Amino acid sequence: MEHIKKIFNTKPYNYYIFFGILLSLAPTAQQLGLLNSSTIIVLGTVIFYSVVGVGLNVLLGYSGLISLGTAGFMGLGSYMAAYLTVDMNLPYFLSVIISVSIPLAVGLVIGLISLRIQGYYLAIATLGVSEILKQVFIEMDTLTGGFSGKSAFYPKIFGLLELNRQFTFIGMSIVLVLILIFSHNFINARTGRAFLTMRGSESAAKAMGINLLKYKLTAFGIATAYAALGGVLYIHFIRFAYPSGWSVTLSLQILAVIVIGGMRKMNGPVIGAFIVFGVPELILKQIPIISGIDGLAYIFTGVLIIVVILFYPDGVIDLLNPIKDYIEKYKENKNEEKSLLDNQ
Partner 1 sequence: MKKNHCLTINNLTMTFGGIKAVDDLSFQIYENEIYGLIGPNGAGKTTVFNCITQFYKPNAGQVIFNNKSDQSIDLVTYQTHEIIQEGLVRTFQNIELINELSLLDNLLVGAHVHYETGIFFQGLRLKKARDEEIKMKKKAEKILEFLELFERKDELVAGQPYGVLKKVELGRTLMSDPKLIILDEPAAGLNETETTQLAGLLRDIRLEYDCTILLVEHDMRLVMDVCDRICAISFGRKLGEGTPRAIQKNKRVQEAYLGTEV
- Smallest distance from partner 1 to CB 57, Å: 13
CB 204 within 8 A of CB 78: no
Alpha helices by DSSP H, listed for the chain, are: 2-10, 14-24, 26-31, 37-56, 70-82, 92-113, 119-139, 141-144, 165-187, 190-200, 202-207, 212-237, 248-261, 268-273, 279-282, 296-311, 321-343
203 binds partner 1 (CB under 8 A): yes
Instruction: Tell me the β-bridge partners of 162.
Output: 156
CB 100 within 8 A of CB 232: yes
- Smallest distance from partner 1 to CB 205, Å: 8
200 binds partner 1 (CB under 8 A): yes
Cβ closest to partner 1, residue 201 vs residue 244? 201
**Can you tell me which of 102, 143, 210, 282 binds partner 1, judged by CB under 8 A?**
210
**Can you tell me which of 194, 241, 259, 275 binds partner 1, judged by CB under 8 A?**
194
312 binds partner 1 (CB under 8 A): no
211 binds partner 1 (CB under 8 A): yes
Segment contacting partner 1 by CB under 8 A, of 115-123, 128-136, 187-195, 277-285: 187-195
Distance separating alpha carbons of residues 37 and 26, to the nearest angstrom: 10
183 binds partner 1 (CB under 8 A): yes
Q: Which of residues 234-273 bind partner 1 (CB under 8 A)?
A: 264
Distance separating alpha carbons of residues 269 and 307, to the nearest angstrom: 17
Q: Which of residues 35-74 bind partner 1 (CB under 8 A)?
A: none
159 binds partner 1 (CB under 8 A): no
**Can you tell me which of 57, 99, 197, 251 binds partner 1, judged by CB under 8 A?**
197
Which candidate, 337, 317, 258, 286, places its Cα nearest to that of 68? 258
97 binds partner 1 (CB under 8 A): no
207 binds partner 1 (CB under 8 A): yes
Segment contacting partner 1 by CB under 8 A, of 22-30, 136-144, 181-189, 231-239: 181-189
CB 53 within 8 A of CB 270: yes
206 binds partner 1 (CB under 8 A): yes
**Can you tell me which of 89, 101, 164, 185 binds partner 1, judged by CB under 8 A?**
185
CA 239 to each of CA 21, 34, 39, 45, 242: distance values in angstroms, whole numbers, following the listed order: 24, 25, 17, 12, 11
CA 131 to each of CA 73, 90, 241, 243: distance values in angstroms, whole numbers, following the listed order: 10, 28, 16, 10
- Contacts with partner 1 by CB under 8 A lie at 182-183, 185-186, 189-191, 193-194, 196-197, 200-201, 203-212, 218, 264
